[in-house]
């Protein structure tokens, strides 16, 4: 009895129609089911395919928008990092600049004649 399944069959008799249980091959049952519902199966497949394509299109748009946001964030982060590093560099070198400026000024003052240094002229 392998490969057989029980199926209800409608039978017309002298006293009207009634259902009788019969054994049919399993493959035959599947073929009958597909034959009876093929339009519905095809419609469901088409709807599922259309839904999948619409979802893929939507995800592609979302991904592009997210990529634009990431690129903008990367630009902002880079600009911020460059500004932070520049500010840190300026802060580290402020003392050097002030010292070198004072040394240069002192050398210039020393090279001037004494009377100019005393009078404060020539600045």
The residue with tokens 């520049």 is 86
The residue with tokens 């419609």 is 43
Could you report the per-residue pLDDT of 41-84, keeping only the tens digit for each?
Answer: 999 999 999 999 999 999 999 999 999 999 999 999 999 999 99
Domain tally for the chain? 1
Q: Any bridge partners for residue 8, and if so which?
A: 21
Could you report the per-residue pLDDT of 28-42, keeping only the tens digit for each?
Answer: 777 888 889 999 999
- Distance between CA atoms of 69 and 82, rounded to whole angstroms? 20
Domain membership of residue 71 as a residue range: 4-119
| Length of the chain as a residue count | 123
């Amino acid at each position: 009895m392998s490969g057989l399944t029980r199926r209800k069959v409608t039978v017309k008799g002298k006293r009207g129609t009634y259902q009788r249980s019969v054994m049919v091959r399993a493959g035959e049952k599947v073929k009958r089911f597909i034959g009876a519902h093929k339009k519905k199966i095809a419609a469901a497949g088409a709807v599922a395919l259309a839904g999948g394509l619409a979802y893929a299109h939507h995800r592609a748009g979302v991904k592009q928008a997210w990529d634009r946001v990431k690129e903008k964030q990367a630009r902002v982060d880079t600009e911020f990092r460059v500004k932070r590093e520049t500010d840190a560099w300026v802060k580290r070198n402020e003392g050097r600049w002030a010292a070198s400026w004072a040394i240069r000024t002192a050398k210039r003052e020393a090279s001037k004649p004494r009377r100019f240094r005393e009078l404060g002229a020539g600045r």
